[in-house]
Amino acid sequence: MLETLSGNPLSTTVVSALISHYIFKRWEQTDILSLAALLLFLPSALSTLFWNNHTATQSLLIAFTVYYIVLATSIVLYRLSPFHPLAKYPGPLPGKISAFHLMWVSFKGRRHLYLQSLHEEYGDIVRIGPNEVSLLDPNCTIHLMGTQGWPKGPNWEGRTMTDDLPMVAIRDTNVHHQRRKPWNRAFNSSSIKEFEPLLRKRVKLLVERLGEQKGTTDLTMWINYFTYDFMGDMAFGGWSEMLIEGDRQGLWQMMESTINTSLVLEHMPWIMPYFRLLIKARIKESPMLGHSEHKMNQRIKDGATSRDLFYYLNNEDGADSQPPPKNLVLSDGLLAIFAGSDTTASVLSNAFYLLIRNHEALQKLLEEIDHLYPAGEDSTDSRHYSEMDYLDAVINETLRLYPAVPSGSQRAAAPGSGGKAIGPYFLPEGTLARIPFYAVQRDPRNFFPHPEAFWPERWIIASSDGPRPDGFIHNTSAFIPFSIGPYNCVGKNLAMHEMRMVLSHTLQNLSINFAKGWDETVWEKELEDTFVFAKGKLPVTVTTRNLNGGA
């Protein structure tokens, strides 16, 4: 058999596979014609060279086997060789070989913990993929993500199920800047005031519904319903009534399922165009898409009753010369609901968990709330929020421990840039990079003491001129829960306002405790990094507070 394969056909097949590897490395072919030509047509054509000594079926088997073994071996050896541009940066062997390794870690929901452990083992820069690194040094943040930083990486294309990319998934800096303009108008300080009546109405309904619950109830579920309802109000002028009806249409479950699928596909962005083709008919029949199109058309028909997000996305403020295409308005409206509801729900759920678990912190916050909003005062009135230092400390400490996007956002060197120095590290063109927010914000070099513990007092100490504990460290440049630079979270001010109101009004009116017998350590075990934090159930009991006598 070896003698049969030792002639020119075998050599030609080996050389062809090596040339294909060079083509993939040099031009990163991902379009279907190029992939078909290199992975199907070429080995099929090479099989004809073996016809003299083998049947057509045997020739195909030999050609494909040799071709793929040589191609795969060449790729692996190159990625592990000293000739690879990232060879000098340490990292786990499986990650250097294939992106499938990190994809598998992500699928299990433990990417944030995995990245943290890698940095503990390898240091401030770790090669986590064949062409991707993770950077723990907060001094790299401004270089990678600031105004002169890198554009978004291809993982965003892998996260988008439709052909109409939402604003957050656009990698072209100029196009992203244009698409973001109505968002900037919608989320400036004066515009947020326009959203406040919608927010106050939903917060009051949340507290009312929680107060009606008897026995054990899932606080996570109610927070999910609240954020989803409110973002629907803001994005389309009305979307759902989950606080009253529950997830009757399965929209929240559908959103969670989409996020989980996107998590896997973000590691293979090149496959997404083909995946979209496979599920195109299913997307068109999706209840989520049908619901959103109905709500959009209804919103256009009824006109603006308030200056909600749709008012700006649809150019109803007349800021642009022409109205945008409906498909882009729909895409960005859905983005607001997906991004704004799941992230805020995650932080709020974690905040309540941490407060209930830490009685001293809860009591301090209650004292602040009761002082500024005594019995009879409406705590959805935001006039005192700027005075609530401990409330902000609680929110910031929650964001530090559990950032909404724990593993950060991928960036990529712009094509033709040749690469760039990111802090002390030169990263060549073709490199992907990320700052793992979860790991950075728990690094004792950035926050000390108690870097892994819930300690809101660190924020009070850092903002005062009083004495500080020995070795106290509070590196605000390492606090990046909303990202930074031109791709930062456009809705961060609204999110902060929303969290202040929910926490203030809920804790002013209700006493919330863990359900009897519930193991509170389960909460962290069930937190999963699905790009945002996916949460388990938070079983609690709720009673009405005696506002005249405290909790």
Which residues, other chains included, contact 79 with Cβ-Cβ below 8 Å and sequence gap of 6+?
A: 96, 97, 130
The pLDDT, as a whole number, for residue 188 is 87
Amino acid, res. 522: V
Q: CA-CA distance, 459 to 389, in Å (whole number)?
A: 9
Reading the block at residue 316, the tokens are 């109803």
Domain boundaries, the chain: 2-80, 167-544
CA angle 302, 305, 306 (to 5 degrees): 140
User: Does the pTM exceed 0.85?
Assistant: yes
Q: CA-CA distance, 154 to 149, in Å (whole number)?
A: 16
3 state DSSP class of 126 = strand
Q: Do 403 and 124 contact (CB within 8 A), yes or no?
A: no
| Bond from prior residue into 451 cis (ω within 30 degrees of 0) | no
Other Cβ atoms closer than 10 A to 285: 9
CA angle 246, 250, 253 (to 5 degrees): 105
* CATH hierarchy code of domain 167-544: 1.10.630.10
Q: Do 217 and 515 contact (CB within 8 A), yes or no?
A: no
User: At residue 518, what are phi and psi to the nearest 5 degrees?
Assistant: -75, 135
Other Cβ atoms closer than 10 A to 286: 16
Spatial CA neighbour of 200 closest among 343, 348, 380: 380
β-pairing, 132-135 vs 432-434, is parallel
Amino acid, res. 181: K
Strand partners, 420: 427
User: At residue 126, what are phi and psi to the nearest 5 degrees?
Assistant: -130, 135
The pLDDT, as a whole number, for residue 481 is 94
The pLDDT, as a whole number, for residue 240 is 87
Q: How far is CA 21 from the centre of its chain?
A: 33
Q: CA-CA distance, 524 to 530, in Å (whole number)?
A: 14
529: left (phi over 0), alpha (psi -120 to 50) or beta: beta
Q: Do 233 and 308 contact (CB within 8 A), yes or no?
A: yes
Q: CA-CA distance, 351 to 494, in Å (whole number)?
A: 17
Torsion of CA 113, 114, 119, 120, to 10 degrees: 70
The pLDDT, as a whole number, for residue 322 is 82
Strand runs labelled E in 400-486: 411-412, 420-422, 425-427, 432-434, 447-448, 473-474
Spatial CA neighbour of 71 closest among 19, 9, 146: 19
The pLDDT, as a whole number, for residue 1 is 40
Tell me: is residue 489 an annotated ligand-binding position. Answer: yes
3-state secondary structure labels for all residues of 258-309: HHHHHHHHCCCHHHHHHHHHHHHHHHHCCHHHHHHHHHHHHHHHHCCCCCCH
User: Tens of pLDDT along the chain (551 residues)?
Assistant: 434 444 589 999 999 999 999 999 888 877 888 989 999 999 999 999 999 999 999 999 999 999 999 999 999 999 999 999 999 999 999 999 999 999 999 999 999 999 999 999 999 999 999 999 999 999 999 999 999 999 999 888 878 777 778 898 898 899 999 999 999 999 988 888 888 999 999 999 999 999 999 999 999 999 999 999 999 898 888 888 999 999 887 777 777 777 777 777 888 888 877 777 777 666 666 767 777 788 888 888 877 777 888 889 999 888 887 888 888 888 888 888 888 899 999 999 999 999 999 999 999 999 999 999 999 899 999 999 999 999 999 999 999 999 999 999 999 988 788 889 999 999 999 899 999 999 999 999 999 999 999 999 999 999 999 899 999 999 999 999 999 999 999 999 999 999 999 999 999 999 999 999 999 999 999 999 998 998 999 999 999 997 664 44
Other Cβ atoms closer than 10 A to 219: 26
Which residues, other chains included, contact 509 with Cβ-Cβ below 8 Å and sequence gap of 6+?
A: 207, 211, 379, 544, 545, 547
Reading the block at residue 282, the tokens are 């299913």
Q: CA-CA distance, 400 to 448, in Å (whole number)?
A: 12
